[in-house]
Amino acid sequence: MTVSRETALQAPVRITAVKVAPLVGDTPKGGWSTEIKPEDSIHALIAVHTDAGVIGHGSVFTNGGLAQAGVKVLEPLWRGENALEPERVSEKMHQNTFWMGRGGTLTHVIGGIDIALWDILGKVTGLPVGRLLGGTYATRVQPYCSLLMDEPGPMQDLVAGFRAQGFRAFKIGWGPFGRRDDTRLDEAIVRAARAGAGDDTKLFVDAGASDCYWPQGLKWAMRTADMLKDYNVGWFEEALRPDAIDDFCHLRRVSPVPIAGGECLTRRQIFLPWLQRGALDIVQPDVTKVGGMSEQRRIAWMADDFGVKYVGHGWNTAVGLAADLQLAAALPNVDLVEYIGGSPYLDGITEQPFRLDAEGRLEIPDQPGLGLRLDRDKLARYTPDPSVLFA
């Protein structure tokens, strides 16, 4: 639904409710040592309702129950607010709750609300969010198909299958990589992925060192980075535990491949020392965890000032991908977005699925707001009450 420009200028659009729809039933594996199950909730969709009848959608990378609790705690701060002022409203929620623990559930939930508020502002003004965030640097972007690692045989077949679907960039991560203290297995997995992808594609490797009790350290990461260069790997992600900033600084200095990370960091303040100290070649905030599109944009521009490349982390939902696509339009030099291979929460909840063009790229929607429409009937398979997301 859109309203006239005159209405947008004359009166605020007030937030009347914020609803949460946990996604459950077909949650994809995460590759963690304590593996998640299909019935586990690690993603939730957010719907911000307004007195104008306009609804905005957001996404949160956290348990649905936590998201619902976070929305309740934040209610005195969002209820009755002007939905046409996403940055101000989001910053109000951040500033009034940081003492409860900046970076946890509340930060995640504020981010989901923030995405939804940008969606509302776009719908009300008739503009895509990317243009509202600053402009249109790009109209297409390349998705990299994000896949869990497996034994070498299945790994090659899995990557080859998604190449046949049109993907021309891949990231493999987690699974057995680095967890069995077997460098020959690690290399065999990467070799198999490269064989499945072909030499004319981009390949990235994610160790997943934010997994619990990660067993490896700096010397393993240095040896592994040397191995990865032989397979033309574009970056080495999460090679070390997420708080090991000194080791990241050293690894970046000596590694022959770019070092990426940042998906576990939240809010711009936490990213600043990582940029100041030169810990990363590529910074990867996650819009569904970091505090939303308002925060993601500020981190990306800050990284650009330090000469650090921005590639958003996006192991999430169709709404999260839609947000990443709009950010790719609004920021310079964004050439990649993450796309989970085979996730029903990405491919199976919208009226129109995302489609690759002949060059393996995605068009950035130019419709008002985020540019996607959720499908109530499809969502009924994955959330107890999809009606909360609709009028």
Q: What's the burial of 134, exposed, middle or buried (CB within 10 Å: 0-12/13-18/19+)?
A: middle
Taking the model in full, what pTM does it have? 0.95
**For residue range 76-99, what is the model confidence (pLDDT) as tens digits?**
999 999 999 999 999 999 999 988
**pLDDT value at 6 more than 70:** no
Q: What CA–CA distance (Å, rounded) separates 186 from 152?
A: 9
Q: What's the burial of 14, exposed, middle or buried (CB within 10 Å: 0-12/13-18/19+)?
A: middle
Average pLDDT over residues 178-184: 91
Average per-residue pLDDT in the chain? Answer: 95
**pLDDT value at 249 more than 60:** yes
**For residue range 24-76, what is the model confidence (pLDDT) as tens digits?**
999 998 888 888 999 999 999 999 999 999 999 999 999 999 999 999 999 99
| Structural domains of the chain, ranges and CATH numbers in brackets | 5-126+378-389 (3.30.390.10), 131-374 (3.20.20.120)
> Comparing 391 with 55, which gets the higher pLDDT?
55
162 pLDDT tier (thresholds 50, 70, 90)? very high
pLDDT at 99: 87
**pLDDT value at 3 more than 80:** no
Comparing CA positions, the residue from 100, 27, 98, 87 lying closest to residue 61 is 27
Q: Contact, 120 vs 84, CB < 8 A?
A: yes
Q: pLDDT exceeding 90 applies to what percent of the chain?
A: 91
A 10 A CB-CB count for 103 gives 17
- The conformational region for residue 257 under phi > 0 = left, psi -120 to 50 = alpha, else beta, is beta
pLDDT at 382: 97
Given the structure tokens 């905030």, which residue do they identify?
285
pLDDT at 1: 54
**For residue range 335-347, what is the model confidence (pLDDT) as tens digits?**
999 999 999 999 9
pLDDT at 256: 98
Average pLDDT over residues 279-307: 97
Given the structure tokens 């009226």, which residue do they identify?
351
pLDDT at 102: 81
State the helix-helix crossing angle for 245-254 and 218-229, rounded to 10 degrees: 30
4 pLDDT tier (thresholds 50, 70, 90)? low
**pLDDT value at 204 more than 80:** yes
Q: Which amino acid is it at 53?
A: G
**pLDDT value at 153 more than 80:** yes
Average pLDDT over residues 214-239: 97
Average pLDDT over residues 171-188: 94
**pLDDT value at 216 more than 60:** yes
**For residue range 313-334, what is the model confidence (pLDDT) as tens digits?**
999 999 999 999 999 999 999 9
Q: Which residues have a Cβ under 8 Å from the Cβ of 171 and sit 6 or more positions away?
A: 144, 145, 146, 147, 203, 204, 205, 206, 237, 338
**pLDDT value at 20 more than 60:** yes
pLDDT at 172: 98
Q: Contact, 274 vs 285, CB < 8 A?
A: no
Q: Contact, 263 vs 284, CB < 8 A?
A: yes
**pLDDT value at 101 more than 90:** no
